[in-house]
Amino acid sequence: MEDLLFGPFALGFMRRALAGCLALSVAGPPLGVILVLRRMSLMSDVLQHGVLPGLALGYAAFGLSLWAMGLGGLAAGLTIALLAGFLTRATAGREDSQLAGVYLIALALGVAIISQGRGIDLTHLLFGSVMGVDTASLFAMATVATVVVPALALIWRPLVIESFDPLFLAANGGRGGLWHLAFLALVVLCVVSGFMALGTLMAVGLIMLPAIAARHWAGSLAGQVRVAVGLAVLASVAGLLLSFHRDIPAGPAIVLTAGGLWALGLAVGPHHSALARLNL
Amino acid sequence: MRAPHEIILETLTLRHGQVAAVFGVTGSFPPGSLTAIVGPNGAGKTTLLHALVGLHKVFTGRIYRGDLGRADIALLPQASQLDRSFPLTCLETVAMGHWGRVGPWRAVAPAQIAASRRALGEVGLEALAANPIGRLSAGQFQRVLVARLLVQDAPVLLLDEPFNAVDASTAQLIEGLILRWHEEGRTVIAVLHDMDLVRRLFPTTLLLAKVQVDWGPTERVLSAANRDQARAFSDQWSMPPWTDGAAPPAAAVRAQGDAVVPSAARSGAA
């Protein structure tokens, strides 16, 4: 039993992957809670696909460099976020189809660019690999988490008010767009930082799923944030063990574990769950 | 020589994209005035309210706000526009009213928390301070929004359908508050549908049907002739050319605008 649970973490790469995922677990889920509240879950899809062409271009230009790929992903993610924001405003109510169009193209473009290069495993880039977390990318993930948490705390109040009642903030000169952009930048940072361990397609899973699940476990906003972080930590540990023992890529293993926790909350959690509904 | 706190509209025209929402409204809300905005659905009442608080871009014409700042004009939004499953407590929602003083980063002082609790008390919900807003009835939720308005403590109050979907006791409470605000010298502007209530409570009325049908003393504005005219306008814009997103019959609107200028001049003289 001890071997099963703790043995894998005796290995250096497993410890690095765990530390990286824990960093993302602290930074990502609070962003996810806000994404859920702002009804922007689709936006997280757009961003996860949107960073891919940037990563791929960084790789095509500079090879397997964490910095080139990270900065490329960041630039692409921010561009896509701005483009999506523009399309949302310009199309008045038809944004879901526009956003789907954006991310389908971004994914195809990213895969096309990557397949031109040699020496990079598309599976690892999309779905993550515990072996991918070297010391440099671990530091990158830790740095991002260190920046994102206090930054989110700084914009928390206007962001929450704007999510609940955008007219109120706008009428009081609260510059809602500014907070929204700052928030999107933090989400992009988190998605990009997660790509080494979890893959671009799965990093958003660790941001969103614990946040979606937290709605079933806590009623207050602060409670939901705490629960989301706790569930993400749990999913990271359990997912990495699953990945190690069953030889599944780390990203899907962690996301599946988080998904299991969500299903559990949906079934028996104290809020908005099947069980809570039966008791009514 | 404008009095402070007076809000003056000069041939104000507002648009939703390519469609005219409000056309050529002219008149003023003097300090301490109590005005109802009435009109058919789609008449631009909410749009006008949003423009007054700076939420809707002015297309042509002007809004003079005198020395009123952002925090001096408070809006009670339509409760149905807000997400009531949002994980906030009543007290947290009411405390938002301090935004103008605390901004994004200053701490909310204990005195401000106390003021929020007092406001909840004034609307009869002090016992529910820690309750999530998701568990409130429609009337209770409207009371929480009214408490937030009390906390904002603004000299100009804009109420967007404050009596919509509320129970009788909440309606009575809001009615009492409107009268109190009026006595305190605040300017109150409310979008309403209940004509009896308008006649009973509001000395001044603006009848809007995209164009300004009439603006002045309530009894004159709510005359049968005026209301027939408003209905006739609204029948026109519910015809296909107005509803299918095509370009608005701007010439028609302009003609109507000219037709009602005399009434605007009357209200200016009043």
pTM for this one? Answer: 0.85
Better pLDDT: A80 or A225: A225
pLDDT value, residue A93: 60
Q: Where are the alpha helices (DSSP H) in chain B?
A: 45-52, 90-95, 99-102, 110-122, 138-152, 168-183, 195-201, 218-221, 224-237, 240-243, 250-269
Asked if residues A173 and A179 have their Cβ atoms less than 8 Å apart, the reply is no
pLDDT value, residue A101: 85
Task: State the distance between the two ends of chain A, measured CA to CA, in whole angstroms.
Answer: 41
Residue type, B28: S
**Across A132-136, B39-43, B141-145, which has the greatest mean pLDDT?**
B141-145
Residues B216-223, mean pLDDT to the nearest whole number: 93
pLDDT bin (cut points 50, 70, 90) of residue B220 is very high
Residue B62's domain comprises: 1-68+155-162+187-270
Report the half-sphere exposure of B11 (CA within 13 A, side-chain side): 7
Residue in B73, B75, B99 closest to A161 by CB: B99
Asked if residues A206 and A194 have their Cβ atoms less than 8 Å apart, the reply is yes
Q: How far apart are CA A65 and CA A113, in angstroms?
A: 16
Residue in A155, A158, A221 closest to B88 by CB: A221
Residue B172 lies in a domain: no
Out of A33-37, A174-178, A265-269, B113-117, pick the least confident. A174-178
pLDDT value, residue B2: 41
- CATH number, domain containing residue A167: 1.10.3470.10
Residue in B70, B82, B87 closest to A173 by CB: B70
The tokens for A273 are 């769950």
**Across A27-31, A69-73, B1-5, which has the greatest mean pLDDT?**
A27-31
Cβ pair A37:B86 closer than 8 A: yes
Residue in B81, B83, B99 closest to A174 by CB: B99
Distance of CA A228 to the CA centre of its chain: 12
pLDDT value, residue B253: 47
Taking contacts as CB-CB distances below 8 angstroms, the residues of chain A near B134 are 219
Name the region of B17 (left: φ>0; alpha: ψ -120 to 50; beta: rest).
left
Cβ pair B75:A171 closer than 8 A: yes
| pLDDT digits 0-9 by tens, B145-202 | 999 999 999 999 999 999 998 999 999 999 999 999 999 999 999 999 999 999 999 9
Residue A22 lies in a domain: yes
pLDDT value, residue A94: 67
pLDDT bin (cut points 50, 70, 90) of residue B3 is very low
Taking contacts as CB-CB distances below 8 angstroms, the residues of chain B near A217 are none
Residues A90-113, mean pLDDT to the nearest whole number: 81
Residue A278 lies in a domain: no
Taking contacts as CB-CB distances below 8 angstroms, the residues of chain B near A92 are 17
Q: Quote the minimal CA–CA distance from A279 to chain B in Å.
A: 16
Taking contacts as CB-CB distances below 8 angstroms, the residues of chain A near B73 are 171
Mean pLDDT of chain B: 85
Q: How many CB pairs below 8 A link A and B?
A: 63
pLDDT bin (cut points 50, 70, 90) of residue B238 is low
**Across A8-12, A92-96, A213-217, which has the greatest mean pLDDT?**
A213-217
Residue A271 lies in a domain: no
Asked if residues B163 and B174 have their Cβ atoms less than 8 Å apart, the reply is yes
Closest-CA residue of chain A to B84: A164
Residue A110 lies in a domain: yes
pLDDT value, residue B185: 93
| pLDDT digits 0-9 by tens, B52-98 | 998 888 999 999 998 888 889 999 999 988 999 899 999 999 999 99
Residues B24-48, mean pLDDT to the nearest whole number: 93
Q: Quote the minimal CA–CA distance from B147 to chain A in Å.
A: 14
Phi/psi for B175 (5° steps) reads: -60, -45
CA-wise closest residue to A13 among A128, A175, A156: A128
Q: Quote the minimal CA–CA distance from B71 to chain A in Å.
A: 6
Residue B122 lies in a domain: no
CA-wise closest residue to B158 among A198, A172, A215, A94: A172
- Total number of domains in chain B: 1
Does residue B268 surpass a pLDDT of 60? Answer: no
Taking contacts as CB-CB distances below 8 angstroms, the residues of chain A near B68 are none
pLDDT bin (cut points 50, 70, 90) of residue A271 is confident
pLDDT value, residue A151: 97
Q: How far apart are CA A274 and CA A280, in angstroms?
A: 10
Residue in A171, A174, A179 closest to B53 by CB: A171
CB contacts under 8 A, B 113-172 vs A, are: 132, 134
Residues A236-244, mean pLDDT to the nearest whole number: 92
CB contacts under 8 A, A 77-96 vs B, are: 92
Asked if residues A231 and A240 have their Cβ atoms less than 8 Å apart, the reply is no
Q: How many other C-beta atoms lie within 10 A of the C-beta of residue A155?
A: 20
Residue A26 lies in a domain: yes
Q: Report which secondary-structure segment, H or E, holds A212.
A: helix A200-214
Secondary structure (3-state) at A256: helix
Residue A168 lies in a domain: yes
A163 touches chain B (CB under 8 A): yes
Residue B76 lies in a domain: no
pLDDT value, residue A18: 92
Residues A121-146, mean pLDDT to the nearest whole number: 84
Cβ pair A164:B86 closer than 8 A: yes
The tokens for A97 are 């189809």
Residue A128's domain comprises: 2-265
Q: How far apart are CA B47 and CA B149, in angstroms?
A: 20
- CATH number, domain containing residue B263: 3.40.50.300
- Total number of domains in chain A: 1
B217: which strand partners?
A: B204
| pLDDT digits 0-9 by tens, B98-154 | 998 998 899 999 999 999 999 999 999 999 999 999 999 999 999 999 999 999 999
pLDDT value, residue A119: 67
CB contacts under 8 A, B 47-66 vs A, are: 50, 53-55
Asked if residues B188 and B159 have their Cβ atoms less than 8 Å apart, the reply is yes
Q: How far apart are CA A91 and CA A104, in angstroms?
A: 18
Report the half-sphere exposure of B269 (CA within 13 A, side-chain side): 7
Residues A174-183, mean pLDDT to the nearest whole number: 83
Asked if residues B232 and B255 have their Cβ atoms less than 8 Å apart, the reply is no
**Across B48-57, B229-238, B251-260, which has the greatest mean pLDDT?**
B48-57
Q: How far apart are CA B145 and CA B137, in angstroms?
A: 13
Task: State the distance between the two ends of chain B, measured CA to CA, in whole angstroms.
Answer: 17
Asked if residues B43 and B234 have their Cβ atoms less than 8 Å apart, the reply is yes
% residues pLDDT > 90 (chain A): 41
Residues A69-84, mean pLDDT to the nearest whole number: 89
Phi/psi for B14 (5° steps) reads: -125, 150
Cβ pair A221:B70 closer than 8 A: no
Residue linked to tokens 């990557």: A114
Residue type, B171: A
Mean pLDDT of chain A: 87
